[in-house]
């Protein structure tokens, strides 16, 4: 169950980061409320996942997949450019996350 919660936390992390850029482009207080609300949900889910997973494992996966997701989301939603070299390093992050999961004690 902790892995599922961590997966949801990763998704909310990606939504949170992308909502920051979106809120900056909209410029209203209502848009600014979205990343604030998502940050509370995001932290609560990460903390809940850490009840059943080692903190380092949960945090490494959360940040790694979150970073890759934000890069991909930024490219899709905002037209951010991603170079082939960046894509290669994103692949290395994915390899690290898979290795972390495969060799996790929980």
The interaxial angle of helices 29-50 and 55-78, nearest 10 deg, is 150
Output the pLDDT for position 28: 86
Domain count along the chain: 1
**Which structural domain range is residue 16 located in?**
2-102
Q: Is the pLDDT of residue 104 over 90?
A: no
Q: What's the mean pLDDT in 91-101?
A: 92
Q: What is the pLDDT of residues 36-68, one digit of tens each?
A: 999 999 999 999 999 999 999 999 999 999 999
Average pLDDT, the chain: 93
Nearest alpha-carbon partner for 18 in 43, 46, 38, 4: 38
The pLDDT score that the predictor gives to residue 103 is 85
The pLDDT assigned to 3 comes to 94
């Amino acid at each position: 169950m902790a892995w599922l919660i961590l997966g949801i936390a990763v998704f909310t992390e990606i939504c949170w980061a992308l909502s920051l850029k979106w809120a900056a482009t909209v410029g209203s207080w209502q848009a600014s409320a979205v990343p604030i609300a998502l940050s509370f949900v995001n932290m609560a889910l990460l903390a809940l996942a850490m009840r059943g997973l080692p903190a380092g494992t949960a945090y490494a996966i959360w940040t790694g997949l979150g970073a890759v997701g934000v890069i991909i989301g930024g490219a899709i939603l905002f037209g951010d450019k991603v170079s082939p070299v960046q894509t290669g390093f994103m692949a290395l992050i994915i390899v690290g996350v898979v290795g972390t999961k495969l060799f996790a004690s929980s």
